[in-house]
Amino acid sequence: MNINKAIIIGRITNDLELKAMPNGNKVLSFSVATNRTWKNEAGEKQEKASYHNVVVFGKTAEIIKRYFIKGQEIYVEGYLDTQSWEDKDTKKKMYRTEIILSTFDFGQKPQNAPKEDTQESQKETGGLEDEYNQDINPEDIPF
């Protein structure tokens, strides 16, 4: 059995730029930063950021471009794909590993995010943001 699945939750590191491929399909590439913290042998806190390239196509690319901004948290699920090419100047073989997005979810917006028209947003997202902004009542959990 083979499995190729990547799941990350992090923050978008760049402004989103939607592009069109020659066949007219939309494509969106962006980077997501994740942080890892641990304590070293001396008990000092260590932190490392990792950056992940994400690629998304079609209608999903348009939705992410419309509702996400730099600094916003995003849940990304997809598969890993590595592209290779030869550098024109150095003639070296270059590689880039990307997560090809299959599923995403909204995360927290940065504190300095502009406010948007809530009614318009709910109409287009089907009210998803209300679902994420509600507090959970422990008595509503069925187990």
**Banded pLDDT at 108 (limits 50, 70, 90):** confident
Give percent of the chain with pLDDT exceeding 70: 78
Kindly report the CATH number assigned to the domain that includes residue 64.
Answer: 2.40.50.140
Average pLDDT of span 3-20:
96
Query: In the chain, how many domains are there?
Result: 1
* Amino acid identity, position 122: Q
pTM of the shown model = 0.73
- Taking residue 134's Cβ as centre, other Cβ atoms within 10 Å add up to 8
Domain range for 84 is 6-39+46-111
Rounded to whole angstroms, the Cα distance separating 26 from 24 reads 6
Rounded to whole angstroms, the Cα distance separating 31 from 15 reads 9
Asked, for residue 93, whether it belongs to a domain, the answer is: yes
Given the DSSP bridges, would you call strands 26-39 and 73-86 parallel, antiparallel or unpaired?
A: unpaired
Q: Which pLDDT does position 110 carry in this prediction? A: 78
* Amino acid identity, position 123: K
Q: Of the candidates 33, 26, 31, which has an alpha carbon nearest to the alpha carbon of residue 60? A: 26
Rounded to whole angstroms, the Cα distance separating 111 from 22 reads 37
